[in-house]
Amino acid sequence: MSFRVFAAGALNDFYTTAAIAPSSPHLASAMLAPLHLSRARVALELGAGTGAITQCLLDALPASSTLLVFEINRRFCTHLRRKFKDPRMVLINANVANLDSELHRRGYDHVDAVASSLGLGFMSETQRNEIFERLMPFLRENAVLTQYQYVHGMQFANGRLRRLSLRPTLNRYFDSVETKIIWRNLPPACVFACRAPSITTH
């Protein structure tokens, strides 16, 4: 069911969905491993799709925590609402470009961990920077963000395909960036585990 909903979403808007299939359980667990979720009070997911990573986040988070979930696609949000009845999940059907105002108006100033599946390679450098400029003030000291990128690392720019590594962008905002390749995913993906600075300067 999730696969069918995901494929329909990808056919409808490939640039935003930025994938041909939901993340595998192997990729989902690699995205969670660096996040210290058992101690988290507020976690944030960016780009939930049909919930492949959302389910694992909910399984790992404490009973008293909150999971803030951004998803821009209305069909995916309808699917997520049906699939997850967990009161810890706050689904935000909005563009992460408005992340700061969406979090503030719900009363959130900080998050402890972030799992992002956004197709950053399909965005311009300006859009990527805008997202991180808005996100960084919410990260607690040493909070960890995970982000994946398919190993082929392609980006559409001026109507052409070219290789892109997210590392230079992530290095600009985070104190340390570690990578791990997950081969058991379609396609294989690189997970970046990024530690926020001790004193947030952005």
Ligand X SMILES: C[S@@+](CC[C@H](N)C(=O)[O-])C[C@H]1O[C@@H](n2cnc3c(N)ncnc32)[C@H](O)[C@@H]1O
Which is nearer to ligand X, 34 or 119 (by Cβ)?
A: 119
* Residue (of 188, 151, 170) closest to 27 by Cα position: 188
Least separation in angstroms between residue 141's CB and ligand X is 26
Phi, psi of 112, deg, nearest 5: -95, -20
Which is nearer to ligand X, 76 or 84 (by Cβ)?
A: 76
**Residue 70: which H helix or E strand, with range?**
strand 66-70
Which is nearer to ligand X, 92 or 143 (by Cβ)?
A: 92
Least separation in angstroms between residue 22's CB and ligand X is 4
Least separation in angstroms between residue 87's CB and ligand X is 21
Least separation in angstroms between residue 138's CB and ligand X is 15
Q: Are 146 and 31 in contact (CB under 8 A)?
A: yes
Tokens of 86: 């967990």
Q: How far apart (Å, rounded) are the C-alpha atoms in residues 79 and 38? A: 27
Least separation in angstroms between residue 23's CB and ligand X is 3
Kindly list the residues in this chain that would bind ligand X in the complex (CB under 6 A): 16-19, 22-23, 47-49, 52-53, 70-73, 76, 95-97, 117-119
Which is nearer to ligand X, 28 or 177 (by Cβ)?
A: 28
Which is nearer to ligand X, 18 or 166 (by Cβ)?
A: 18
Residues in CB range of 181: below 8 A, 6 or more apart: 151, 188, 189, 190, 191
The one-letter code for the residue type at 104 is H
* Residue (of 143, 201, 148) closest to 176 by Cα position: 143
